[in-house]
């Protein structure tokens, strides 16, 4: 049931919204004070809230000729025509139009022209998860075609938003430098979990979770664990994406009793699973701009699971590690640098890190971060 006395807020994504962590945090918080509707691909993220399911890939006749037309529009930079001939965008507009929204919270650049055209009464809040113009900069075709398209959306639409947020300080500064956008930092923190701190024994239990993306150079962790003189084991909870890289990682670890590829668990089970380990590894090679300035979910997952953390010299994660003494930073992103840190591990040192994570878990939780969104929404509505 909608409440006409409360402002109407639409949370909009072009992703399976029930698996979109930032959107889920917003939805839970905003629903306390506002009449929230969700819109995105797939099932409703909250059974108690109205949901408008969007089509991720509406059927199109003559798909090859359509793709050719899209490529031509990209080459000619006919971006407005490109956006509004995309069936996903036009289908979403038809499903969402005619509703008197007060504020639309639009996730990532591709939802913003749609949100702007829907013309909410108080404006659009944009959550830019990463630095959009360089999301896939390792691809030459992406840099030449999609990057300029995203820059157009930023200049034409995002620049007129009532509020803009993003995920790390380096990305905040780059949006300001490149586009004159003033963005608010909301980190990808994890909800508070009331866990106890586990004992550290031998071997010291290391863990990493995530996607097997070649740009992240996960082989560094495998090589370092194979070579360290410290008694450790490493469990890798990697999504089985069927990629050649995933198989290469398994082959690289073959024959080592220290490294295991463990069946991934649902996110609802991930934190209790991580809590059984000692140290989370988050050494992510800075092979792209967004990876160089990353502050990933897994980093905060490790803190809530009461683990120590070992990271590479990634500036965003370093701020938290140095300030709260929750782990160690390698001198660079090489396997040798990580091996040096692993060689220095003792149960006593790791136990100190774990207790520091426990001490700072509440202040580094998403409950603190989500209030930044709540304050921005209240400001826009007020």
Nearest 5°: phi and psi at 173?
A: -70, -35
Q: What's the structural domain count of the chain?
A: 2
Same domain, residue pair 234 and 337: yes
- Residue-level pLDDT at 3: 66
Nearest 5°: phi and psi at 314?
A: -85, 120
Asked if the structure places residue 306 within a domain, the reply is yes
Same domain, residue pair 41 and 165: yes
Closest CA to 194 of 265, 270, 271: 271
Asked if the structure places residue 195 within a domain, the reply is no
Query: Mean per-residue pLDDT for 99-106?
Result: 97
- Residue-level pLDDT at 266: 85
Q: Has residue 59 got a pLDDT over 80? A: no
Asked if the structure places residue 1 within a domain, the reply is no
- Residue-level pLDDT at 38: 98
- E-only strand ranges, the chain: 8-16, 35-41, 51-54, 103-107, 123-127, 163-166, 184-185, 204-210, 232-238, 259-261, 279-282, 308-311, 327-329
- Residue-level pLDDT at 144: 94
Asked if the structure places residue 288 within a domain, the reply is yes
- Residue-level pLDDT at 375: 97
- In this structure, which long-range contacts are made by residues 220-224, counting pairs with CB atoms below 8 Å and at least 24 apart in sequence? 220/283, 220/285, 220/333, 220/334, 220/335, 220/338, 221/281, 221/283, 221/335, 221/338, 222/249, 222/252, 222/253, 222/256, 222/259, 223/252, 223/335, 223/339, 224/335, 224/336, 224/338, 224/339, 224/342
Asked if the structure places residue 199 within a domain, the reply is no
Same domain, residue pair 147 and 12: yes
Same domain, residue pair 129 and 184: yes
Contact present, 112 and 158 (Cβ < 8 Å): yes
Owning domain of residue 234: 204-360
* DSSP count for the chain of H helices, then E strands: 17, 13
Closest CA to 264 of 207, 214, 312: 207
Same domain, residue pair 229 and 171: no
Asked if the structure places residue 235 within a domain, the reply is yes
Contact present, 286 and 357 (Cβ < 8 Å): no
CATH number of the domain where residue 344 is located: 3.40.50.2000
- Residue-level pLDDT at 379: 97
Same domain, residue pair 377 and 348: no
Same domain, residue pair 107 and 222: no
Please count the residues of the chain. Answer: 382
Mean per-residue pLDDT of the chain: 94
**pLDDT per residue over 313-365, tens digit each?**
999 999 999 999 999 999 999 999 999 999 999 999 999 999 999 999 999 99
CA 301 to chain centre: 12
C-beta neighbour count of 361 within 10 angstroms: 21
Same domain, residue pair 14 and 156: yes
Sequence-distant (≥ 6) Cβ neighbours of residue 368 within 8 angstroms: 189, 362
Same domain, residue pair 298 and 270: yes
Same domain, residue pair 148 and 173: yes
Same domain, residue pair 158 and 60: yes
Sequence-distant (≥ 6) Cβ neighbours of residue 306 within 8 angstroms: 195, 196, 197, 198, 275, 354, 357, 358, 361
Contact present, 302 and 320 (Cβ < 8 Å): no
Contact present, 52 and 38 (Cβ < 8 Å): yes
Same domain, residue pair 241 and 315: yes
- Residue-level pLDDT at 2: 57
Sequence-distant (≥ 6) Cβ neighbours of residue 140 within 8 angstroms: none
Asked if the structure places residue 194 within a domain, the reply is no
CA distances, 74 to each of 64, 141, 344 (Å) = 15, 11, 52
**Taking the CA of residue 194 as centre, how many other CA atoms within 13 Å lie in the half-sphere pointing to its CB?**
0
Sequence-distant (≥ 6) Cβ neighbours of residue 72 within 8 angstroms: none
Asked if the structure places residue 97 within a domain, the reply is yes
- Residue-level pLDDT at 149: 97
Structure tokens, 75: 């080459």
């Amino acid at each position: 049931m909608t409440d006409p006395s409360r402002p109407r807020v639409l949370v909009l994504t072009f992703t399976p919204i029930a698996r979109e962590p930032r959107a889920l945090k917003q939805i839970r918080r905003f629903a306390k004070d506002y009449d929230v509707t969700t819109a995105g691909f797939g099932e409703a993220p909250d059974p108690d809230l109205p949901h408008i399911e969007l089509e991720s890939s509406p059927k199109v006749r003559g798909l090859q000729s359509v793709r050719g037309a899209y490529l031509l529009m990209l080459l000619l930079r006919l971006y407005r025509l490109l956006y509004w001939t995309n069936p996903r965008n036009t289908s979403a507009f038809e499903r969402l139009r005619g509703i008197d929204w007060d504020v639309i919270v639009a996730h990532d650049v591709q939802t913003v022209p749609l949100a702007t055209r829907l013309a909410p009464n108080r404006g659009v809040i944009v959550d830019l998860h990463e630095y959009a113009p360089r999301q896939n900069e390792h691809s030459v075709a992406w840099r030449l075609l999609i990057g300029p398209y995203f820059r157009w959306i930023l200049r034409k639409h995002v620049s007129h938003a009532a509020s803009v947020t993003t995920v790390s300080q380096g990305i905040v500064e780059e949006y300001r430098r490149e586009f004159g956008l003033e963005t608010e930092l909301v980190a990808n923190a994890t909800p508070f979990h009331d866990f106890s701190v586990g004992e550290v024994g031998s071997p010291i239990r290391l863990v990493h979770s995530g996607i097997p993306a070649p740009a992240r150079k996960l082989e560094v962790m495998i090589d370092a664990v194979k070579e360290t003189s410290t008694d450790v084991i490493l469990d890798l909870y990697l999504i089985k994406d069927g990629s050649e890289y995933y198989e290469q990682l398994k082959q690289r670890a073959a024959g080592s009793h220290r490294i295991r590829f463990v069946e991934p668990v649902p996110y609802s089970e991930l934190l209790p699973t991580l809590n059984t380990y000692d140290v989370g590894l988050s050494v992510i090679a800075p092979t792209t701009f967004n990876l160089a300035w990353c502050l990933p979910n897994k980093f905060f997952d490790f803190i809530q699971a009461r683990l120590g953390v070992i990271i590479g010299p990634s500036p965003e994660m370093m701020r938290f590690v140095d300030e709260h003494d929750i782990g160690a930073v390698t001198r660079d992103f090489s396997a040798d640098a990580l091996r040096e840190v692993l060689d220095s591990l003792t149960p006593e040192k790791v136990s100190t890190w774990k207790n520091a994570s426990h001490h700072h878990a509440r202040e580094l939780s998403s409950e603190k971060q989500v209030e930044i969104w709540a304050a921005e929404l209240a400001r826009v509505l007020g």
